[in-house]
Structure 1
């Protein structure tokens, strides 16, 4: 999913006020200042000030070590691109430990929390490790920072998908109409949806949808229950920017075993394409289905 928090967030974060080392050290004050300056510059969207807090050859590495930014010029460009986005977050950090491991060298472990600007958006969190080096001018700068693990809570793990799915949607195909609505449940840990399928030659079918985070398998999972008694379950896997692969298995109200490989591909903020292939009902292959689903236009005067 993700929300790859590093790709731009503050994996370069250093120390927060209140840090403590195993032994008191005069260096801690300098490390604290670097941290405060970093948080202040990030939340002011000052990319130049952020880049200045890195060493000349400082680097930022993401969770998969596939996206590495090296050098102040590229680091500044990276943060500038982040800040130009309308959903650039504000950040805060929790520091677990800081260790002075050699002359003019420190290692910090902690967690960075990023909160988007929208009232309904949820924070995401990433554990990180940062290496800091003291320069000849006495200032501590970031030599390297690396993501360790996505530590978002359940809502945070769903944040990217929720942002894209929330709202009312509709689709029509060969006489079939779907009306779908998604939002957070009361706990704030699950996305819930209601889907109504109507056709001229069949009775309406209402399906309840619940999407959650499985912390044991580190995956997004969904459950679907129709009002006839059928149900299904599947895992969501991000395969590309804006595209999800969903492997679903279930049973109909008549006891027939079902399965399908589905993809959901977002096309901007107001549409997605839903493909269902390799559809089987009791072992018999069914026709593939593709539907373009669009966001419903709010009624005049709706809030």
Structure 2
């Protein structure tokens, strides 16, 4: 029988949590190769390893009484729904129900951490995987307290947690999904078109920036926004067509995104700035640049309202077929593709 029905089986209440619990018991009993962290002396390590081996052997043999004996007399398990099963007799009944319904299930263990709390107590966290005779598998996380009683390591308490997969990198960027689309802003002489799209795998946001001065192209840039698992932050990398580049870290403060940016301009100058993006509604956001430094010079702060670009329009000549789609002229923007880091006023050649 596949293991998934354990979650929904009627008549054996909380079967999946109970099943998960059995695995965490094993983890608590020994923890396999990670358990030596609980005790430093070889005698304790050997005892813990032996207890783990015995537990696995008893579990795989379907011996409910022997498995329950690996708990302290008032040992407990708390399943994913918060139900508490306490005492060796209640645990023995629990294991027996499981073994009767799912004979031949096997267990694999993985320990993430063991934290000793003195010589006779430890907290263990990890995951376990159970496989049925038919090959179906289930996985659960656990936090288990183990205690040394009368010279034996036994389970005092274990709690099962849902083992949901970690968010994908793209999931971490969901709070920035509002950026997706085409944007423009207005200024006296410089026009900038901004476009954000998801990459084909959905793990990065790709930004494209084009600047025009009086209709003449000035600068083109591309940006990639992604999740940095090492620092636990959203980061961005911007590359200008002329060789300049910038890197930023994104932090959500209230309803605004604060971006700390550092850049290297093509002429070798180093710059830094703070850029704040504050959504006003689904079609506008406020962009504010502060703490702008290029080389040894401090630049003025700025504040812009960025507006979502109108959709492309199609025109139909009188008596003719529809003409190709034409995009409305971009408004003017008083900023470079990376507004946090200013660019020279003259057009680039």
Q: TM-score, normalised by structure 2?
A: 0.47
Q: What does the per-residue CA deviation read over 1:247-286, in whole Å, with 9 as the maximum and x for residues that have no partner?
A: 1111111111111111111112221111111111112011
Residue number in structure 2 paired with 1:178: 192
Residues 79-98 of structure 1: CA deviation (Å, up to 9, x unaligned): xxxxxxxxxxxxxx963238
Aligned to 1:164, the other structure's residue is in SS state helix
Higher helix share: 2
Question: Residues 111 and 178 from structure 1, CA distance in 2 versus in 1: closer, same or farther, beyond 3 angstroms?
Answer: farther
Q: Is the 8 A contact 1:192 1:211 kept in 2?
A: yes
Q: How far did residue 190 of structure 1 move?
A: 1.2
Pair member with larger Rg: 2
**May I ask how many residue pairs the two structures share in their alignment?**
192
Q: Which residue of 2 aligns with 1:160?
A: 175
Q: After superposition, give the CA deviation of every residue in 1:50-84 in whole Å (9 maximum; x if it has no partner).
A: xxxxxxxxxxxxxxxxxxxxxxxxxxxxxxxxxxx
Q: Which consecutive residues of structure 2, in runs of 5 or more, have no partner in the other structure?
A: 1-15, 27-63, 69-77, 84-137, 147-156, 315-324, 326-349
More strand by share: 1
2:283 to 262, 270, 294: 270
How big is the shift at 1:298? 2.2
Shift of 1:168: 1.1
Query: Using a 3 Å threshold, how does the CA distance of structure 1 residues 288 and 112 change in structure 2: closer, same or farther?
Result: same
C-alpha contact (below 8 Å) 1:238/1:244 kept by paired residues? yes
Query: Which runs of no fewer than 5 residues in structure 1 stay unpaired?
Result: 1-14, 36-92, 114-150
Match of 1:227 in 2: 241
1:223-249 per-residue CA deviation (whole Å, 9 max, x = no partner) reads 111111111101001111x31111111
Q: Is 1:236 matched up with 2:287?
A: no
Is the Cα–Cα contact under 8 Å of residues 16 and 94 in structure 1 kept in the other structure?
Answer: no
Structure 2 residue 208 is the aligned partner of structure 1 residue 194: yes
Q: TM-score, normalised on structure 1? A: 0.54
TM-fit CA distance, 1:177: 1.8
**Partner of 1:172: helix, strand, or coil?**
coil
Pairing 1:261–2:282 present? no
CA distance in 1, matches of 2:301, 2:200: 35
Please report the RMSD computed on the Cα atoms of aligned residues, expressed in angstroms.
3.7
* C-alpha separation in 2, matches of 1:164 and 1:18: 42
Q: Decide whether aligned partners of structure 1 residues 98 and 254 sit closer, same or farther in structure 2, where only a CA change above 3 A counts.
A: closer
- Relative distance call for 1:94 and 1:263 in structure 2 (3 A) is farther
SS of the equivalent of 1:173 reads coil
